[in-house]
Structure 1
């Protein structure tokens, strides 16, 4: 019996130590788990964006973020696009090509720490870069609509809560980054560990712009319930589009741009 107790005690000690090591690793390397900062900045010459220009936008602390910009056609708004959590914004150039083909302008950019913009990736820097990008775009004098995809739903909602735009489109959003982490790492106290929590569920309550949320039922990166919760909290909801069988990266191919154009047209009509 004593030997059994010693074995059980030893196993318990090993389990506690192992759990502590996991906690320590998650805390120290949490941003390596949270952000995908690989890839490269595409050249505009690799796209069909013949009229777009690469721009450098001053941000907080003397930093600079890199983006692409094109003015809209007359009567169309400028889309400020908050990219998701994978490589560089420039890899999504087909989206920007579709925007300009239909007369929309756009500004898309890399947050600090991603391929186009030097610096450290943190929630504070991402939010500051989002505000800097919006203010830079607003100075151009065009109507502005916001588009936040995945990770970008955080800064897009934050900016909408502090600035005046005509619309906020959220593609596969989360209600908070810590909630997403809790879905995956249910066995860890992620609320205590995470530095970058992006409380969209708090920011959305201060958003006066009309809101469209698009999400797929087969999204395994950010579950569809996150989008549903965000939409339920929006003070000015316009549309909740739940696409059956769509995964995290499927919404564009499932017709998101057509939905977006209708939404933006409604929002612009209401803003006049």
Structure 2
């Protein structure tokens, strides 16, 4: 009986050591697990954005690299907050379409991503997000905000702190910590995760009309995140769910047509 008890206690100790080892690994490596800041840079002169300029935007004690293009007459500037992987410069085809339809835009890499120096953290990302918004606001044009994936966090935060014409959230999370909990339900993510991006709290302070776009085939951020976040918006405009669409497939599924119509009716309402 003592042998059985000893084996049982030994198993409990091994499980506890493995569990707390996993928690410690997650804690000390969490930003490496959370962010994917590597990728190739696309040169501005390799795109069709011939009237855009590369600008350096001060952000606290750091600076970020952005592309800026002014809008056509009576059109807004899209303030764009990129996703988690690589550089914003790889998304130049989006920017080309926006410019072709008369929109201006500003897009950038958060500090620690390929085009911008610095160390990644939620605090740093939110500082960069505000700095770039304020840079765009100083140009004097109407502004609309577009966040994609990770960028839906800073986009929602900025909309809660600044005034814009509209907020579009493409494949958003309810919060980053809620996604982490969904992936690692046995780990105490709410206690150890540093960069939680609580969009579920920020969205409640957003006065702008909100469009949420998501796909039912999203395996990165489950569609329920977008649905729940939309339900919290004080000024909901549209919830656009694309059957079968994955995390990176909404552009090819026609989100630009939805976004264009959303931005235009938001501008008309104001």
Which category describes the TM-score, using the shorter chain as reference length? over 0.9
Does structure 1 residue 75 correspond to structure 2 residue 74? Answer: yes
Gaps of 5+ in 1: none
Q: Residue 238 in 1 paired to residue 237 in 2? A: yes
What SS does the corresponding residue of 2:10 show, helix, strand or coil? helix
Task: Give the Å deviation of 1:11.
Answer: 1.4
1:120 paired with 2:133, answer no
Cα distance in 2 for partners of 1:136, 1:12 equals: 56
**Could you tell me how far apart the structure 2 residues matched to 1:177 and 1:122 are?**
13
Other-structure match for 1:6: 6
Q: Secondary structure at the match of 1:64?
A: strand
- Quick one: distance in 2 between partners of 1:15 and 1:211? 46
**What per-residue deviation string (whole Å, max 9, x for no partner) do you get for residues 50-106 of structure 1?**
11111100001x210001110011111000000000111111111101110111000
Normalising by structure 1, report the TM-score. 0.98
| In structure 2, distance between residues paired with 1:30 and 1:193 | 9
Q: TM-score, normalised by structure 2?
A: 0.99
How far is the alpha carbon of 1:110 from its aligned partner? Answer: 0.5
| Map of 1:101 onto structure 2 | 100
* CA–CA distance in structure 2, aligned partners of residues 228 and 50 of structure 1: 38
Whether the 8 Å CA contact 1:219–1:247 is kept in 2: the answer is yes
1:40 touches 1:116 (CA, 8 Å); kept in 2? no
Of the structure 1 ranges 38-47 and 141-150, higher mean CA displacement relative to structure 2 is found in 38-47
Deviations 1:123-157 (A, max 9, x none): 00000000000000000000000000010000001
* Whole-angstrom distance in 2 between the partners of 1:91 and 1:41: 7
Report if the CA contact (8 A) 1:170-1:211 is conserved. Answer: yes
Give the match's secondary structure for 1:67.
Answer: strand
1:42 aligned to 2:33? no
Contact 1:216 1:245 in 2 (8 A): yes
How many residues align structurally?
270
Tell me if 1:256 matches 2:255. yes
The separation in 1 between residues aligned to 2:249 and 2:55, in whole angstroms, is: 29
* Counterpart position of 1:110: 109
